[in-house]
Structure 1
Amino acid sequence: MTDTSAFRAPKGVPDYLPPDSAQFVAVRDGLLQAARLAGYGYVELPIFEETALFARGVGESTDVVTKEMYTFADRGDRSVTLRPEGTAGVMRAVIEHGVDRGPLPAKLCYSGPFFRYERPQSGRYRQLQQVGVEAIGVDDPALDAEVIAIADAGFRTLGLDGFRLELTSLGDDTCRPQYRELLQDFLLGLDLDEETRRRAQLNPLRVLDDKRPHIKEMTADAPLMLDHLSDAAKQHFDTVLVHLDALGVPYVINPRMVRGLDYYTKTTFEFVHDGLGAQSGIGGGGRYDGLMRQLGGQDLSGIGFGLGVDRTLLALKAEGKTVGETARVDVFGVPLGGDAKLVLARLAGALRAAGVRVDLAYGDRGMKGAMKAADRSGAGIALVAGDRDIEAGTVGVKDMTSGEQLDVAVDGVVSDVLARLGRIRLV
């Protein structure tokens, strides 16, 4: 017999429960709102896709594909994978539904859980929550700057300020092959272990991202992409910087930056918060010219980002800041009797229809227990009534801050409460 008391959430998968979940929702919605203000429409993506989509789109040699994906065979013996990131899925949807045949750029945003089989630690989960945007179809450095500025604004709107933006350029098709060969020659001339040497042959840029001290020391003098950009790629990057300056977005150029996904080209960026320790990245992204073509669509460019909701919550905590509603509801009903419960339930329904958050004390509690529940709810107003009050046609409307309580006619309660809250009745 199964001992259900032993059930736990899967390792590396966090739960968010009230009251902490209010902060989670505030961070997710705040980051999304910054995108919506720039005209990005919401897209809902499947939780799982064909494995080949991520293998081709993310990159066969990446750690994400080789080590971190949750891949399994479904009942039809098809290989499917829980989505490890959002861009490949968005591109698949854009191609499948012909969004790329409409007005460009196609500006899309999304949120939800993503999955990577990693060693769980603070700020690194196997189910991670992200907000992302993708701007597809126009190769314009001004659009790069807009995407970066949206992420920056999202963090700042939440009150986060202890982060920095690092960015670089990973070049284009005309300079990347020559740079790859140059870097590969340099790396293969080093005394590397077998696994690192194999990585240098498959994807030499990934070796620059190796965190081991002896590898970092050996690659300190490695050639850098920023020093070998084509004229077009350099002009693109310089124009991005001009636009970021015009938008007032501060940045630091990091020529050694390497992202974990293969599809990035040209502008590449990461937001870093040192208050998180080793897992300091709170979001990042870049341009991915050529990805749509790789996935069977038109040869259109794109740029986007993914921002970590979990990481942003940790960054806010590191700065001693909170966001979101501290109160569950605006109004709490305290019925003391069956007739009172029926009337307060009806008033609660009317107030909810007007956009007010309302809860009631259930379970026939006494006055003391019901008022404790009202206090715990964080409501600013309590509606208090017994059956005798209902017979008299009144309900007590209590200000939970001052303690003042006034008797209000039942048919005037909704208007009174809306006036106290500064709301307008919805028709």
Structure 2
Amino acid sequence: MTIHPDQERSPESIVLDCAQRARAAQLPLAALSDIQKAEALHAAAASLRRSCGPILQANSCDIDAATSAGLSAAMIDRLRLDSDRLEGIAKAVDAVADLPDPVGQIIDQSTPPNGLQLSRVRVPIGVLGIIYESRPNVTADAAALCVRAGNAVLLRGGSEAVHSNTAIHAAFVEGLVASGVPADAVQLIPTQDRAAVGAMLAAAGLIDMIIPRGGKGLVERVQADARVPVLAHLDGICHTYLHSAADTAMAGDIAFNAKMRRTGICGAMETLLIDAQFSASAAVLGRLLDAGCEVRGDARAQALDSRIVPAGDADWGTEYLEPIVSVRIVDGLGEALAHIAEHSSHHTDVIVTSDDAAAEQFLNTVDSAIVMVNASSQFADGGEFGLGAEIGIATGRLHARGPVALEGLTTYKWCVRGSGQVRP
């Protein structure tokens, strides 16, 4: 049996070598023009289309392994690729190629009394490490966003998608290299040893930022162990509050869509707050129940429909990611705001109301990455915000919040132009 060279090295040495090569490749990548980066990504998309057969064959290996391992139907669906899904991946890469290049954009400029001409200009962050699970489309999405923003990237996908990720990465890089982008600018960590994740988290000075995309366990580990800045969200505990002045038809449609359109995404509603003065509470809850959603409510919510089961304390802080919702009846906007402040994960929170003053108070008070009025929380998505593909939703307070796309993958530098000034 032939031993792959990477099997003879420790995960730590593999990550160190990949990071050093990424650092070297990032410099020529950052020097490419807007047009060059766009052409390289279009070439990568074309290569993905040409490689449809090998990619789908690799994906079938992952599906077979996942089925044998007893993975859930939802997990297998996340893994599964077909020609339509692969075309969607290629189209997403093309869409990123066509986005405006953030690198070199002038954020602001000024001239203070000393006569210096100051400007803040967007630049790439450098080398990014992206650790993700399940969805093989992330391999192409993340690579495209990083390349467009001038960043080299180290990709570490989950073992359940290892064959799919490898095939997608090979096709993507083939297109890049044909367009003059260094192959080392986009690398897939060539080991599934869990120690490789730890090595990435400890690679301060080589990796500039880590972005985890996956379940709560992965994100908690990254946030606890990283010695590198992390851009992440832990939970998507999203609230919808039906205010006393909400239009009843609108409220019903928004609550139903926010929970039931896709229950497994981070922007799905997990807690429904209903004002005690809202007139159509039973109808809203009945619609959810009739559709097969389990409703867990407080005592006042339970009184509205015999099918509602009791909510426990843990329900207010649970991200279900399935057709389950917790419901609380509140006495006014103040109580709704207090509940959200205590239990929100700062992802996306919504008010439904026709009262402009209440809407503005909600927008100004709720401290979440995304705050909405009269819209479903399922719109919490970079594509829906016009940002193209996203790398994830950030719920922290530093660097970037909400959908993180190209702008969120840049930082800035100060450019100072003088005419001989010396400081007195």
TM > 0.5 between the two?
Answer: no
Q: TM range, normalised to the smaller chain?
A: under 0.3
Please say which structure displays the higher CA radius of gyration.
1
Q: Which has the higher contact order (CA 8 A, sep 6+)?
A: 2
TM-score normalised by L of structure 2: 0.26
